[in-house]
Amino acid sequence: MTIFSVHHTTTYRYKKPVRPGRHQLLFRPRDSFDQRLLDSCLTVTPDPAELRWIHDVFGNCVTLVDFAERTRVLTFESVIRLDHTPENTPDFRIEDYARAHPFAYAKDELPDLAAYIRRQHPGSGVEDWLAKFVTTDVSRPTGQLLMTLNEAIAEGFSYQRRSSHGTQTPDETLERQQGTCRDFALLMMEAARSLGFAARFVTGYVYVPDRDGPVRLGGGSTHAWCQIYVPGSGWVEFDPTNGIVGNRDLIRVGVARTPQQAIPLSGSYWGNAGDELGMDVTVNVKTEGGLPTPSTMVGAT
């Protein structure tokens, strides 16, 4: 058991006062058997006219914030504490019919998984890349196949932090041989889907041990990875950026069918396009007590 604390601050600055429109936040972690929210505090500056929570179509807890006054600085500060149970060794308890790939999902689950199996970026690029290390007409252990795919991205691509919004297409990532965690998660999702697996996008935070310390550290950001549905084990975490299989050091906040549906913070403002001076994001994930587990990870979008 590990107690994590996450301090996440986003600040927008403008040349002159603007009126913020509605902003949508995906900051509150999903409670589950492997992570339990202990405390949560959200501070918004200036004070919002209305702040409310809803559950979206995926069951994520979404915060909706509306404003009535104009401002030059808009800040969202989230502080959470949660009890996290790490799964250091993935326990692939796979149903007999799915132990070897290829296989077909059970008929009673297939209607609910269909949207997660459907490709979002069809094309031959992903299949051509897969053909370099996966022989599609040969049966192989399901768990081994998925771990091979995860490792192929972790070891074969260069992580490159990017300040621009959006996610690269899988073809763009393959061509450039580099990307962000969102890009790598989408590439793995599309590769898994092309093999018949159900895959979904995850946004959240990653604990980076060498950043742990008594003071807040800047330069962090949100993290992204994916989940693959494995009969008998359910939705299994795969982080192709860091080569993680299982939930070790991963704090799950939101899940979605596509990256565009799991943006941590989005919104608008009334004003001129040139009024925006920029956005600053800092994320610090720390443990409370105990020694950090030695590992090297990348934590940025």
CATH code of the domain in which 13 resides: 2.60.40.2250
Query: Is the same domain home to 237 and 274?
Result: no
Query: Is the same domain home to 9 and 106?
Result: no
- Asked if the structure places residue 29 within a domain, the reply is yes
For 205, the enclosing helix (H) or strand (E) is: strand 199-206
- Asked if the structure places residue 204 within a domain, the reply is yes
Q: Which domain holds residue 240?
A: 96-261
Query: Is the same domain home to 128 and 200?
Result: yes
Query: Is the same domain home to 256 and 271?
Result: no
- Asked if the structure places residue 253 within a domain, the reply is yes
Q: What is the reported pLDDT for 99?
A: 96
Given a contact cutoff of 8 angstroms between Cβ atoms, the answer to whether 300 and 254 are in contact is no
Q: How many distinct structural domains can be found in the chain?
A: 2
Query: How many beta carbons lie within 10 A of that of residue 300, not counting itself?
Result: 21
Q: What is the reported pLDDT for 289?
A: 62
The CA distance from 148 to 141, in Å, is: 11
Q: Calculate the alpha carbon distances from 10 to 7, 122, 139 in Å.
A: 10, 35, 47
Q: What is the reported pLDDT for 213?
A: 44
Query: Is the same domain home to 203 and 242?
Result: yes
Q: What is the reported pLDDT for 217?
A: 27
Given a contact cutoff of 8 angstroms between Cβ atoms, the answer to whether 186 and 126 are in contact is no
Q: What is the reported pLDDT for 88?
A: 63
DSSP lists the bridge partners of residue 197 as none
Residues of the chain with pLDDT under 70: 88-90, 163-164, 210-220, 289-301
Given a contact cutoff of 8 angstroms between Cβ atoms, the answer to whether 255 and 262 are in contact is yes
Query: Is the same domain home to 193 and 210?
Result: yes
CATH code of the domain in which 172 resides: 3.10.620.30
Q: What is the reported pLDDT for 49?
A: 97
The pair of three-digit structure tokens given for residue 159, joined into one six-digit string: 């992580």
Query: Is the same domain home to 72 and 144?
Result: no
The CA distance from 196 to 119, in Å, is: 10
Given a contact cutoff of 8 angstroms between Cβ atoms, the answer to whether 189 and 12 are in contact is no
- Asked if the structure places residue 192 within a domain, the reply is yes
Q: What is the reported pLDDT for 103?
A: 96
Query: Is the same domain home to 102 and 246?
Result: yes
pTM for the complete prediction?
0.91
- Asked if the structure places residue 297 within a domain, the reply is no
Q: What is the reported pLDDT for 136?
A: 74
- Asked if the structure places residue 293 within a domain, the reply is no
- Asked if the structure places residue 91 within a domain, the reply is no
Query: Is the same domain home to 79 and 12?
Result: yes
Query: Is the same domain home to 200 and 52?
Result: no
The pLDDT tens digits of the residues spanning 67-104 come to: 999 999 999 999 999 999 987 666 779 999 999 999 99
Query: Is the same domain home to 167 and 28?
Result: no
- Asked if the structure places residue 298 within a domain, the reply is no
Query: Is the same domain home to 157 and 193?
Result: yes
Given a contact cutoff of 8 angstroms between Cβ atoms, the answer to whether 146 and 164 are in contact is no
